[in-house]
Each structure stands twice: as structure tokens, then as C-alpha cells.
Structure 1
Amino acid sequence: MMEQYQKIKDQYPDAFLFYRLGDFYEMFNEDAIKGSQLLELTLTNRNKNSKNPIPMCGVPHKAVQNYIDILVDQGYKVAICEQMEDPKLAKGMVKREVIQLVTPGTQFQTGSENAKENNYLTALVYDKISDDYGFAYVDLSTGELKTTLLDNADLVFNEVVSLASKETVISDDVPHSMRDSLSKFGILLSKQVIDPINSAMSYLTQGIEEKPLTQVLQMLISYVQTTQKRSLDHLKRAVRYEPSDFLEMDHNSQYNLELVKNIRTGKKAGTLLWLLDQTKTAMGGRKLKQWIERPLVNKKIINNRHEIVDVFVNHYFERNQLQDELIKVYDLERLSGRVAFGSVNGRDLIQLKTSLQQVPKIQYIISQIESKDLKPLVKQLEPLDDIVDLIEAAIEDDSPISVTDGGVIKDDYNDQLDKYRDATNNAQKWLAELEAKERELTGINNLKVGFNHVFGYYIEVTKVNLPKIPEGRYQRKQTLANAERFSTPELKEKEAMILEAQEQSKNLEYKLFVEVREEVKQQIKKIQALADAIAEVDVLQSFAAVAEEYRFVKPVLVDDHAIDIVDGRHPVVEKVLGHQQYVPNDVKLNQDTNVLLITGPNMSGKSTYMRQLALSVIMNQIGSFVPAKEAKMPIFDKIFTRIGAADDLISGQSTFMVEMKEANDAIENATPNSLILFDEIGRGTATYDGMSLAQAIIEYVHNNIGAKTLFSTHYHELTALDQTLSNLQNVHVGATESNGELVFLHKIQPGPADKSYGIHVAKLAGLPDKLLTRADKILNELQDKTAEDKVGISSMNAEPEHNNEKEEQISLFPLETVDEHQSEVISQLKRLDLMSKTPMEIMNQVYKWQQKIKKN
């Protein structure tokens, strides 16, 4: 047995091997040692008395899924090794083989908490000739399969992280730098040889011609076929997409804007997804998340979604009826996946039937609304009555979970099955009659006829009543503590007949169930198309429900790239605070204004104001209404954000480095149709360095890019830029002092803020009065000093200085005190080539100069 185990284990060295032994899956050797720790199992030994006992632990086969999920969730692979023949019929060693390799990317999401989540397996190949990456991803549970060509490593990393992929299949050509980046982010890397093209690959890659794309798809499909070892009929044909087909946001922007994950908790609560999700189906929930992560840039499709949402908003009763029917629709996409995989059971088919029974009702409700915009959706909602009729005729409504133990197929569906059942039922009647007859004959009132899987049918008599049994009537079968079990020739004969009928009945039931499953399988593509249409209806009705509840308005799409939002709100903050407490604000950026420079105290709402614009843009471009009184908005192609201060601990970068990289990303890739949000750029370094960089970034964006930009800052000196940059406008968040207390108005007002109120904010945070008094005194001293030394801000637009004018420079020594020795030091300092010296050499030189000056 251990030889067989090791031979199989050698084929899966990077996975835990769950080796089936009877009613348990066992792990041995290193798998057992590590597995017992991760799964909190008792570690035992096989061959305890030998010189080298074998570490061993196991889990019951009926509870195995929970243990597999625990390991896979922690980033491990699990190979499931099954007994492939009946041990009773096996000649010698029972044949075993791995029937499935479960990995983080191929795990079917289970449980209601994951119902609205995709689990994407990604794949990557690198083409050295074109310097491009072929990229693809699949969700094995829903059949979604997509691919694209990416021309740089940053785009690849962004796609993988944005999809929240846990596993990436890579080719040998993928550079080590890319592998390191993905590994550091906790993504499992798996290698796969590309198998020769087969019929499944040919079908799934139809229409895809570019070599990197066909290669990555074939590699991904090969990996899925190799690990899953079963039908993949539910996989949809690969769809090629371009990142530019959608509003482009890197994963940092998605994270900063808290679109689907709360920064503080990592959960859904407190996100845009949380706010907009009033979907009634798991499919709708997943589609909503996909739309939020990939907003559109196609004006026609956006307008079409707006029109449908408007129709649903104006038809309250029909929308309520629609919601009542959608609630009864189960996850058609994942049910299709289970049908294709062969893992579907009777209860799943009943869920499928129940879901399909709602389709005509959904179709009727929508068709009752007179709207040309809804007609395409009505057409896509094609009822599948033949599948409903088949399941209705064949499958029991209260089917057991197991499909091999009987009780799945209805009476009157198959004549032969009915005969077996009649034989079994008649046998049960005969057994009841036998029990009554034997009680009467022996006078033992508690005599009973029973059954177990080991001894079959028996007559049980308590030991107290044994003397009442007529001599030679029964044959002893089993002795218990308080009773004896017997049999008779007649009972043995009937037992053989009953067991044969039950066995044949179970076998026939399973065969009939498989036939029903295969018939349903032929309709998977239609079920998936129907699921997609229902999901779209669900998301759009959700938009309407949210719009009505929170008073969102239908935005007007404009072509001139001007923004005019009246009383805009941050929808998530408003939901948390309540409508009465939230202060709305206008956002106005006309053709002649590209940059809003925002000043004001901490905690006043600068970041919220910036985020609310970004969320309104995203909501608009996914087809939702927006949180405002009125909204005229253009279509943006990209969003860039630098909001919040956070070190990138994974790559060891400081806050300032992260800040500069994100700023550079915007500067390199933004277009005039982009939106840029910069929150206090430059705060991560020294004051003058930060101020200089902030000013230079503003000037560069203003003069060279022309994107709509919101730039918040505490550098009040920058507010003078409105005198030299014609498309920049100053605004500030209002705050007032009342009896020494700071009151935030949370209202955006024209012009710059007069001061930042930092000490007032510290007071609100609860710092000691003594400390605050001291800080106030220091602040006054610094302000007095700054007033004396203040120098005006320069601008890239200012007139350049003449070359013959001397550049002003801070003197190291007051001129009146410089003697010949100090002059010599200054002369040497000017000539010193710093770049050619080591830090220690420079320190030594400075020490010599110091000694020379002190000595003289």
C-alpha cells in the first residue's frame, strides 16, 4: 500500500495527497506532519513498532470538503486520491488514482458568504519577440473565460491584483521579476506544459488568432483539464477584451476609493459595492461587482443602462413584483458548472427547476412595462420549459443529498424501477407480517424483525424470553449483551430477494439520474445565456431601488468635458451619517478650469469631496444614477488617485516613494479625458522639498496634460498659483472659530483657506491642554519668523531670469567674519567632487575642515 501511495505522491509533490482508505482520507509522512498542524488533527503512526514508523493522520470522507477548503484557502493544493474499484471485488491491491487536484484558483466557491464572489484563475505567457504578455483568466464555477494582450509588467500585475486572483499559471518564459512581484503579493504560481490542441481547446479559442493569446488560453485550459480531470462543457468561448474598453483604474485607485473592499476592515461593508447591492440573485451580485471594477467608456451602452434604470425607477409596482420573482432564482451559472462537472445532485436539479419556473413570470412582468429599451432584455429571457418538464417528471422534490442511495427518482417515471420498488415494498409488508406471526406463535410481545448492513435481516429476542422459543425453530445468528439474534431459512430466502431488489433499484435510479443530468447538460449554453440576462436585469433593478431610496439623479452625459454637479454627495458617507447630517457640495469644472486647488483644515472634508467626485464618475459609467441634485458629466477614460498615506510594506517602499510612484503613474499615462485626484502630495518629505514637488506637479499637469484634477494641500503658499496658471481655481473647505472652538462647515467655498487649524484639530483629538498651549506659542514664533523671511513662489510660467544675474544663495558663513582659513575651506568645498567620494571619506574631510576652523 505504501508503495502505491508513494508512486501517486511523486506525481503531486507540491500538493497534499488525500489517500482514500475505506471511510477515511489518510495523509502520510511530511503531508501528515504538516497537515495535522494546519488542520488541528491528531498525528499518529503506522507500523508503530518498526524502526521507522510512518507519520499518519486522516479525515472522514463525509467531512472531507471542509478540510480541503481550509488548506486551499491557505494557498495549498490538495490531490484527492479515490479507490477506483470495490474492495470486495478487487484482486490484490485496490486500484487508486487522483480524480481531482483542488487548487486556490480552481476551487468552487461554496457557502452563501461566497455566492456573490468570483474565483479567478489567471494565466500568463511572455513573448520575447514582441515583448508582450498573453494574459487570460477563467472562473471555473461560472465558465467565464477572457483574454487580452498586455504590453508591460505593470499592466499585468494590475490585472492579476484587480481580479483578486489567488493563483496564476505561468510559462517558463515569464521573467523572474514578474514572478517575484506576484509571489510577494501572496499569489500561488503554478507551471503547466501546453498540451497538444484538442477539440475543447479548439472550440474555446475559436476566433482568437494572435499567438500569445492562443498560447495562454491553451496553457490555461490544459491546466484546468489536468487538475480537474472531468468535463468542461460549461466553459464559455474565450472573449478578447482590451483594458481601454473600460474606465481604467489601477488596483491602488480601486483600493483608495474603497470600491469593493473597505480599507480598514477588508470587508464589503462601507464600500460602493455595499451601497449599490440590492441584487436578489448571486449572479446579479457578481455582475454588479464586475461592473464596478470595470466601468464603461461607451456612451451608447451607458445611456442605455441609464434609460432602463429610469424605467424601473418610474415603475415601482412592477419592480417590486420583479424582485419577488428574482428572490426565487438560484445560482444558474454555478448550477450549470456542477451539471458539467458531474457533481450536481437531486436537490441542485430541483433548484434549477425552481429557477427556470420564474423565467416566464420575469419575462411577463418586464414585457408589461411599455419601453423600447427593455425589449432586448425580454427577448433574452427565453423560458426552457423542456428542462422544467423533465426535472418535474423525474426528480423527487425532497431528494437526498446522495445520488447513489436511492430516493432521487419519482414513482411512475420508469416501469422497471416501479417493479423493483413494488418488490421491496411487498417485502417490507411480508417482514411486518412475519414479525406479527412470530410474536403470536412464541408469545414474545417484544420480538422484532430488524436489519443491519453486516448481518442482514434477523429476528431479535431478549435473553429473558429465550426459554419461550420452540426447540429448533430459529438458527442463532448474533449474540448481544441483552438479546440474541436469529434467522430462519424462509427469512434468508426473502433477505436475498429484498437485497437484490434494493441493489438493483439503487443502480437503476443512479443510471436514470445520470441520464437526466446528461440531458440537462445539453442545454448548458442556453442556461448560461439566460443566467446572464437575469443577472443584468437584477443589477439594473438594484440601481433603480438604490436611486429611489437615496434620491440619486439620472446624469446627463456631455461631450465638452465639463463637470457640473449640483449638491453632490459621497453616497457611502451619507448612508453611514444619515441624510440630515451630510453637507452636499457642488463640483464645477468648466472648459476653462482643469485644476481645483483645495485647501482647508484636516478633517474638514477635502478627501471626502475628492472621493465623492470619483465615485460619481464610476457610478455614472456603470449605468447607475448619481448622488446629486443635478449632474452633467463627461465620460472619463482613466482615473488616477493618490489618496491616503500608507507604506508599501510588501515591496519595502516608504509613504513618500509610494506617493511619487502613484504621481508618476498619473503623469505618464493620463490624457485630457482623465480624472486625477491628488491628496496632499509631498507631505511625506521635508517641507520645502514637498512644496516644490507639489508645485511642479500641479504646473506639469496644468500645462502638459490638461486632465480634470483635484489637488488638496496644506501648503498655503501654492494658492498663489492661480495668478500664473489660467486654468487653476482655488477653493477651500470652510471652517470657523467660535469661542476658541473649531467648527467644520464641510462646505466648499471659492478662494484659498486662510489657515489650516492644525492645533484645533489636535484639540479635538484630545491632546493635553498644556501641550496645545505650547504648540500654539511655537506656531506664533514660527509665523513671525516666516513673515520676515518670506520669499514669493516662482512658477514655470514666470519670465526666466537673465543669465548674467547672480543666483541668490544662502551663505555658509557671514561675509564679515570670513578669514583666509575659512576662505580656503570654502574654496575646497566648492571644488570637492561629492559623487566620487564614499560617505566615510566625506565625513573625514568635514572633520578636517572643522578642526582647521576651530584652530584658527
Structure 2
Amino acid sequence: MALSPMMQQYLQIKEENPDCLILFRLGDFYELFFDDAKTVSRELELTLTGRACGLEERAPMCGVPFHSADSYIPKLVERGHKVAICEQMEDPAEAKGLVRREVVRIITPGTIDIAGSTENDENIFIASVFATKTQVGIAYGDITTGELACMHLEYRHNLDSLISELVKIAPKEIVYDESSLPENVLAALQDPQVQTYLNPVDSSYYRKALCEKTLMNQFGASSLISLDLDGRTDLVLASGSLLLYLGDTQKQRMEQFKHLDIRESSNYMQLDRSTLRNLELLETIYDKNKEGSLLGVLDHTHTAMGGRLLKRFIKEPLNNQAQINARLEAVDAVVNHPLERNNLVAGLREIYDFERLSARVASGRANGKDLVALKNTLGALPEIRNTLEDLASSALLAEIRDSIDDFDDLYQMIAESIVEEPPFIITEGNLIRPGYSSELDDLKESIRDAKEWIAGLEQSERERTGIKTIKVGFNKVFGYYLDVSKSFSDKVPENYIRKQTLVNNERYITPELKEKESLVLSAEAKINALEYDIFRKIRTSIEPYIGSLQKASASVALLDVLVSFGDVATANGYVRPEVDDSSLIEIEEGRHPAVEQMIGSGMFVSNNTAMDTEQESLLLITGPNMSGKSTYMRQTAIIVLMAQMGSFVPCRRARIGVCDRVFTRIGASDNLASGQSTFFIEMSELANILRNATRRSLIILDEIGRGTSTFDGLSIAWATAEYLASDDHRVRTMFATHYHELTVLEEQLPAVHNLSVSVSEDGSNVVFLHRIIDGPASKSYGIHVAKIAGIPKAIRQSASRKLKELEAQSAPMPATTQISFFDSEIAPEPERVSEEPLPYENVLKEIRGMDINSLTPIQALVRLQEIQNEIKDIDEDSEE
């Protein structure tokens, strides 16, 4: 037995798209067969049926109505499936033989463009990665908004920068050439923190000549020079391959991509994934909520575009002083003009997501409701422009005003053509306003009498027959019919022709009803086809405006963020920071924006911060747990970030010398999946900081060396502090530690300054005041913290006895002790000039032979004291 022609057609399409679920259009349904049907039945919990296919056994089949497919497809894509939409390319009624069918679109996690399939303020980025052994090119785009960007990364030691960028971009899908991608780059893409759908594609997408041609065709350029891509092979291959892949899967040119943004890392502060997480910029660490994060504080945006842009601002603060101050000047104008700010808010609330609306028009997927939303948005723009006239003292706000074109003619065209409440489906009529097309109006007029006759048939038949329950109905199988309950069967007139029998009803037709039906349905088919044709022409006529619409939508998004900053500043009492190119970070009465909101206004204890690479660049902070050290350090970093993204900040006064990067090393957890311990992760993050920090960076270190033995940890912490505070480095650093031994560094290194958290003691009661003061902490109060945490009393009493015993045995470290763990390599010994032993040879020999790992911390400090005394004796003998 042979497969039926239709099933052969299906299997051929499946063979051409083996990694896709094929939604095969059959009339009013999308059907799936064989393994695809089993998969969809399982994933969507739909009934699995069967269909004759020419073989002895029926083919497994599962389907969904075509008009509701948009509610099913996102669920399949979210579960990692690619979906191919296979449509009928001709009218079955007119086709000769088998209906021609083709795949018109392939939907993947990075190309889903279905209303309601994602959060409005979330980008749906798809990325392409090309890499060599030393550099990476990344291109990423969002087909739903028309955003397209690329960037170049170089790597030497590891791929932390690549992972961090991918975490910030958060692409839903990454395409790459598996055959040419270096193994370490592939491992970076597979990092659990990236969390994306990896899609290896054919190497043909990465042919250089094809990528170059694709880019020039996309942007109407005659060479790569005008695109600023000449000689930048990694960017050409990443960007070109992405456009090629999107063209192949979407079966059309990507007209929504009007511009390629080449992102230079020097323009933005570089935030690695640890900093994004540790500072809780977008979500809280433990419950992944927006509330409690910096985003939760700052997001007073009113448009979807503004919400997306705000997230980008948070992930990419500026490095350019002039650009930062331009934003701050705009926020200042918004804050100081409350009436205008309220007017802008009112206007922004009328704005739909016309960044996505424009992209849907460009891709040919906009429906009637999209065009009405676009029209309503355009109607709100003039008032926004007028309000901005009163805020033109800000150069940035004036630039925003000037970038919003006059779209009055486009507004009028849509208003005159599309009805106010159009249906979702654009092929079933009721789209076009009366008076827009005389041909359409004539067609509708031609069946008006027949439709009125049908509309009045129910009442006239009730009066004529005396059957009070007669109803006129319609379905696609039988057309119009008269429904009569069986209890009135004896009153049915002779001219009624029985068409269908139900349990309690009979359905009839009459010759006159069928005549009117034929007239109406024939005309309605023509009307629907004509309305669809008119609608497509209207949609096409909008395409020349796409570039201007995208420019205006980008400006409205920026305005929305700036207004949001103004609202937040006004509501929370934030101030404008002074941002310059100095090496200072000076904050008076700084507050943590998220913590302040959670505990209530007026309850937060504010603190000062003063750092300067020319003077005190390393703040060494000691004090007990739960006293506020971490909050103090985090709030300093967040205030710096807020200032450089152009926001007012929570303090009384702030002066911020621009930071190129903010690094954080706060806490850690085991990565069991990759066999990495807490201490290994801690050391990896520290290594990344020490390799990449510059004199313009800000480093937040919350405990270093706590994951290993005390002496090892103290050594690492000491060496780290010494390195960062040395004259060769002087990186602005906040270093919280429980190693009180480090506090002697203040006397040894001019860049180190001791801070601690004040504590109030009243007998056995201890109160943490959360106030940062000068000087080192006198105690750690660990046992008191254990009490707060609920450790049983008996264990605390035992710990207190042991603490007193250890303190009595310990020898305090003299303040004059000079220890250096700074040198990474031991200097070579000088050549001997005589056979006499060197003065310190015995001491050095003893140190080399010492088993450090077998010493307790107390023993180590005591032995260090003894060694120091031996050296003093040798020095005194030498002087004699």
C-alpha cells in the first residue's frame, strides 16, 4: 500500500524541516501527524486521534483550530520546540488536484512574534555568535521591535566577559556554527547562567562573502565602510549570519531592521554577572522578585518601550561625563516642572507599544487592532511635543521633541479607513469604514435588502406559523436555517424542508431562504476579499513611515525613563549628583534605595562615604554580622550606578568621579553541577576583579578568604588589600572583613582607612546602630548574632567559655608588625661573596621548613612574634 498524496506532501515538508513540529493547514485546522502529533498531544494535553493515510494503520493525528493557534504555539516554543507553519497557498475550491502547501514561517524561541506571548516590557532577542581563539563577535536583534546591535569582545584569560554580556542581553535563542566555534566559547554558551535555547546552524550561514552581501542589501549600502564594518570580520559574520537565519526562518526580508547599532564597550560601564546579581539590580537574589530590586524602585514607566529601555539603562550605565550630565539636566527639568511632568505622564499613558506596532507593520503581520493602536498613539504625540516646548532648557528634552515627527497625515489615513473596533482576523471583513471605498460600499449595498429580509425572517415566521420558538441560525456547514423545537413539529408549514434532526430540535430551510443565502454569501465572500485587499494596501502605505516611527518610539521610550526618574526623585527625596572626571566618590547621608522602601521612610540610617585614589582609596570595614556593612557597601555602589545612568540619587549630596566598572565579590555558593566549591568560585571572581580593575573602577569586597583555613584566608585577604591599596594601583575599594588583623594596614599604607559599625552595649544586651564610624571594630559579636539567629543557649554558653580561653592564650599582633604578602614571586637570593652564613639564614631556613597548615591561628601568631624577636636580636648584634 502507498501513502496518500496528501500524506506524501506532508512527509516531504517534514523531511525538509526535520527539527520542526509541522502545523499542516487542513481547512480550518492545523493538523500534525505521526511523531509530531504524539509530541503535541503530550505537551498540550490534546486528544490524539487518527487519519487514514494509505497504509494499513491510521496515522496518529492531533490538531488545533487555525484561528486559535496563537494560544498554543507559544507553549510549544517555551518548551524548546521549533514550529513550522505550513499554509495552503491556494483556495481548495479552485485548486486542481492536491492543494499546494508551503512553510511560510518557522517560529523559534528567538523569533516568536505572537501577541500575548511575552511580557510587554521584555525584549525577545535572538543572538548569533562568531568566535576565534582570541575574539568574539556577538550580534543580537528583536524582530518584534526592530532593534539590531552587535559588539566585539576580546578575551585572554577566560570568557567571563562573554558570559556577562550574554547574561545582560538575555537572548531567548543563540545561533552558532558548531563546527568552527572554539570549545571554550561553546562551554561559555552552555553556562547555566546564560539560560538560553542553543541552536547550532549550518556553517553556510557564516560564509564571509554572503554575510557581507546580506548586510549591504539590508541597509542599502554599497560597501562595508559606510556601515563601519570594514575590516571587522567577527561583526560582519555575526550580524550577517543573524540576518540570513532570520530571513530563512521568517521567509521574508527583515524590513523592521533599519539600523545596525555597533556597541562600543568603552561607552558603557561594564557590569559582570556577579555585580548584576549581588547588587540586586533587576531582581532580588533569593526570590527573583522585581520588588526589592533597584528596578522595582526606579520603574515608574508608563510605556512598554520605556520599561525595556530602563532595564538597559540599569544594565549599561554611561561612562561619558557629558552624556550623563545631559540626562541629569533633563531629569532636573522634569523634577522642577511638576505641572509639565504631570502632563507628560498623562500623554505617556495614551501611548501603545508603537515600537512593536511599527515592526509588525514592517513584517506584514499587523492586524486591524494594531493599526488602531498605532493611530491612537499618533494622536497622543502632539500634546507631548507641545509640553516639551516648555522644557526646552534641557538639550536632551529638546532633542527628544525634535525627533518626534508630525504624523498627522498618517493619523488621518488610518482614522478614515479602519473601523474603531476591528476584529483580530483580517480575512473575515468588518475592517473598513463606510465611505472609504465606493466599490466596497456598493457591494455591501447590494445585499442590504437580502440581509434585512433574513434579519426579519424570524419574527415574520413566528407571526405566520404561530410557532413562538422559531429561531434563525447559521453555521458553515448548512448555512442559514430555521430552528424549531420538536413539540411544534405538527405546526411546521409544508414549504419547510428538513435539513437536520437534533435531540430536541429540527432544522429546516426554505427555497426563498436559500436564495437569499446564496446572494448574501456570494457577496460576503467578495466583500471580505475586497476588505482584505484594501487593508493590505493601507498597511503597505505605512511602510515608508517605519524609520520615522522607530525614531519617535525610541525618543518616547527615553522620555518615559527620564520622567520616571523625575517621579522617583520627587517621591523619595533624591538629589542631583555631581558627576565629573575626578577620582572622588563623596556621598553625604547616603541611603540604600530598595532597603529604605522596605523598612519605611525615616527608619533607614544614612551614612557618609569618602574615597579618593589620590588619598584614601581603600575603606577597610570591620564590624559584626547583621550590623549593616553589606548594605553600606551596596548602597555606595548603587548610588554610583544610579548617578551614571542619569538618575537622581538617595542622599543629601553626592560627587561621583566616573567609574568605568563596578565589581562586587559578595558571598558565594557551591556550583555542584560543575564541581566548583564556594572557595573556588570566590577565588575565580576575585581573579576576574584583579585582572580587569583599573584606577577608575569601584570594587566591593564583602569577605575574602573565608572559605579556607584561617591562615590561608588571612594571607589572601591581606595580599588583596595590599595590592589594591599600593601606589601602583590605588583602586577605589570597599573591603568588609572579619580579619581584624588587617586593620594594621592603615598604619602601613596611606591609601587604607579603617571604618567600623558602631555598637551599643548595655551589659549582655547589644544593639547594632548601623552607623559607620572611623576606626576598627573592637569585637566581632559573633556569639550575639548566634543568639539572634536562635542558637540554643547551652551551645552559646559553651562558645563563650571557649572564646575566653582562646583570647587568654592569644598574643596580640603589635601595631608595628610589618608583613607583606604582596610579591607574587620570591625574589632570587643574592650571590654569596663569602663562605660565612648570612645573618638571617637560620631564620629563613626555619620559615621555609615550617608546616603552616599544621599551625592553629594562635600558634601562627605566637611563632610570628618569636621570629620577629629573633630578627631584632640579629639587628642589634649587627649594630654592635
The alignment's TM-score, normalised by the length of structure 2, stands at 0.87
Give how far 1:395 is off: 0.7
Matches within 5 A, 1:385-534: 385-432=408-455, 444=467, 447=470, 449-460=472-483, 473-481=495-503, 484-534=506-556
The structure-2 alpha-carbon separation of the partners of 1:181 and 1:53, relative to structure 1 and needing over 3 Å to count, comes to farther
What is aligned with 2:338?
316
What is aligned with 1:716?
740
Give how far 1:67 is off: 2.6
Alpha-carbon distance in 2 for matches of 1:77, 1:112: 15
Matched residues, number:
810
The structure-2 alpha-carbon separation of the partners of 1:774 and 1:168, relative to structure 1 and needing over 3 Å to count, comes to same
SS at match of 2:658: coil
1:654 paired with 2:681, answer no
SS at match of 2:532: helix
Amino acid at match of 1:573: V
Alpha-carbon distance in 2 for matches of 1:272, 1:789: 42
What is aligned with 2:871?
none
1:624 paired with 2:629, answer no
Alpha-carbon distance in 2 for matches of 1:469, 1:25: 41
Give how far 1:786 is off: 2.0
Alpha-carbon distance in 2 for matches of 1:745, 1:24: 68
SS at match of 2:604: coil
What is aligned with 1:785?
809
Give how far 1:53 is off: 5.9
What is aligned with 1:66?
71
1:348 aligned to which of 357, 366, 370: 370
Give how far 1:636 is off: 0.6
What is aligned with 2:164?
158
What is aligned with 1:683?
706
Amino acid at match of 2:644: Q
Amino acid at match of 1:18: L
Give how far 1:58 is off: 3.2
Q: 528-537 or 342-351: which moved more? A: 342-351
Amino acid at match of 1:250: D
Residues 172-192 of structure 1 show CA distances to partners (whole Å, capped at 9, x for unaligned) of 321122213312424322214
Alpha-carbon distance in 2 for matches of 1:556, 1:436: 78
SS at match of 2:138: strand
1:765 aligned to which of 789, 795, 800: 789
Give how far 1:649 is off: 3.7
Alpha-carbon distance in 2 for matches of 1:344, 1:31: 29
Alpha-carbon distance in 2 for matches of 1:42, 1:492: 37
Amino acid at match of 1:166: K
Alpha-carbon distance in 2 for matches of 1:645, 1:447: 75
1:2 paired with 2:7, answer yes
Residues 584-639 of structure 1 show CA distances to partners (whole Å, capped at 9, x for unaligned) of 00001133111000000001111111111110111010100111101111001111
SS at match of 2:296: helix
The structure-2 alpha-carbon separation of the partners of 1:499 and 1:806, relative to structure 1 and needing over 3 Å to count, comes to same
Contact 2:748 2:818 in 1 (8 A): no
The structure-2 alpha-carbon separation of the partners of 1:143 and 1:478, relative to structure 1 and needing over 3 Å to count, comes to same
Amino acid at match of 1:80: I
What is aligned with 2:197?
188
Q: 572-581 or 462-471: which moved more? A: 462-471
Q: 435-444 or 791-800: which moved more? A: 791-800
Alpha-carbon distance in 2 for matches of 1:793, 1:51: 90
Alpha-carbon distance in 1 for matches of 2:850, 2:365: 80
1:806 aligned to which of 837, 840, 843: 843
2:723 aligned to which of 697, 700, 718: 700
The structure-2 alpha-carbon separation of the partners of 1:439 and 1:118, relative to structure 1 and needing over 3 Å to count, comes to closer
The alignment's TM-score, normalised by the length of structure 1, stands at 0.89
Residues 524-578 of structure 1 show CA distances to partners (whole Å, capped at 9, x for unaligned) of 1111101011111111011111011111111112333112110011111111111
What is aligned with 2:218?
201
SS at match of 2:435: coil
Contact 1:201 1:218 in 2 (8 A): no
Matches within 5 A, 1:85-484: 85-108=90-113, 110-111=115-116, 114-127=119-132, 131-152=134-155, 153-171=159-177, 172-185=179-192, 186-190=195-199, 191-192=201-202, 193-194=204-205, 196=210, 197-198=213-214, 200-203=217-220, 207=227, 208-209=229-230, 210-369=232-391, 371-373=393-395, 374-432=397-455, 444=467, 447=470, 449-460=472-483, 473-481=495-503, 484=506
Alpha-carbon distance in 2 for matches of 1:606, 1:54: 67
The structure-2 alpha-carbon separation of the partners of 1:779 and 1:405, relative to structure 1 and needing over 3 Å to count, comes to same
What is aligned with 1:833?
none
Contact 1:724 1:797 in 2 (8 A): no
What is aligned with 1:838?
none
Alpha-carbon distance in 1 for matches of 2:660, 2:332: 24
Alpha-carbon distance in 1 for matches of 2:594, 2:160: 30
Alpha-carbon distance in 2 for matches of 1:753, 1:564: 23
Alpha-carbon distance in 1 for matches of 2:512, 2:54: 49
Alpha-carbon distance in 2 for matches of 1:649, 1:14: 32
RMSD of aligned alpha carbons:
2.7
Give how far 1:283 is off: 0.6
Contact 2:569 2:575 in 1 (8 A): yes
Q: 95-104 or 609-618: which moved more? A: 95-104
Give how far 1:495 is off: 2.5
Give how far 1:80 is off: 2.1
The structure-2 alpha-carbon separation of the partners of 1:58 and 1:784, relative to structure 1 and needing over 3 Å to count, comes to farther
Alpha-carbon distance in 2 for matches of 1:135, 1:80: 29
Q: 363-372 or 568-577: which moved more? A: 363-372
Percent identity over the alignment is 42
Give how far 1:202 is off: 4.7
Give how far 1:306 is off: 0.6
Structure 2 runs not aligned, ≥5 long: 1-5, 828-837, 852-880
SS at match of 1:387: helix
What is aligned with 2:878?
none
